[in-house]
Structure 1
Amino acid sequence: MSELRRTPFYRALHRPSLIWGGDRQLMLSALFMSAILMVVSMNTVSFVFGLLLGMISVYALRRMAQADPLMWQVYVRQVKYAGYYPPFSRPFRVAKTARVY
């Protein structure tokens, strides 16, 4: 009874879902958009532009996921709640408008 009970904490249950090191949803949408651009146009200029766009998006999304794997979810939640949060730095600041927050 002197030893504490140990509960295993499996890494797969809380690990962020990443593909190629970037956020799964953003990575798939960026690669599908570049693939659609390359396939639909069927010329060399659009193929090169789609390939370049895909490589740049993979690089940018990997950098974003290295900084914070949940950055996209945090940003979406922040935009969703933007109308709820009062735009004041301190709770005791006096509002200049009559709007009640």
Structure 2
Amino acid sequence: MTPHIPALQKNRIHRALSRPNLLMGADRELVLLTGLAAIILIFVVLTVYSVVIGIAIWLAIIGLLRRMAKADPMMRRIYLRHMRYRSHYRATSTPWRTV
């Protein structure tokens, strides 16, 4: 007799749980941070030129952030993790090994 192999169970993965959290096509936190910086620039200086410059800078940065998110939506988190890594790891099996 051959043993009975049960069929694999299928579970649905909803798109909302696996999509990156983007705003205007870019990383949500970076868009909000640059928008806040542009608004601060506009309201601190309070001239027509500061409004034009603030909006122009914000739109340029949003374009760059969208290109970054198109290449990799998790690029900011990956870069921050990369910066936390040590630049040099010793070739030992454990950190408590005596040399």
Do both share a fold (TM > 0.5)? yes
Aligned twin of 1:60: 64
Distance in 2, Cα, partners of 1:68 & 1:61: 10
Which amino acid is the alignment partner of residue 11 of structure 1?
R
Extract structure 1 runs of 4+ deviating beyond 2 A.
1-4, 84-87
Which amino acid is the alignment partner of residue 29 of structure 1?
L
TM-score by length of 2: 0.78
Which amino acid is the alignment partner of residue 54 of structure 2?
G
Rg: which structure is higher?
Answer: 2
- Name the Cα RMSD after superposition: 1.9
TM-score by length of 1: 0.77
Count, aligned residues: 87
Q: Secondary structure at the match of 1:86?
A: coil
Residues 17-58 of structure 1, C-alpha deviation per residue, up to 9 Å, x if partnerless?
A: 100000011110001101111122110121111011110011
Tell whether 2:18 aligns with 1:41.
Answer: no
Distance in 1, Cα, partners of 2:26 & 2:71: 11
Distance in 2, Cα, partners of 1:85 & 1:65: 29
Distance in 2, Cα, partners of 1:44 & 1:12: 41
- 5+ long unaligned stretches in structure 2: 92-99
Q: Which deviates the most, 13-22 or 69-78?
A: 13-22
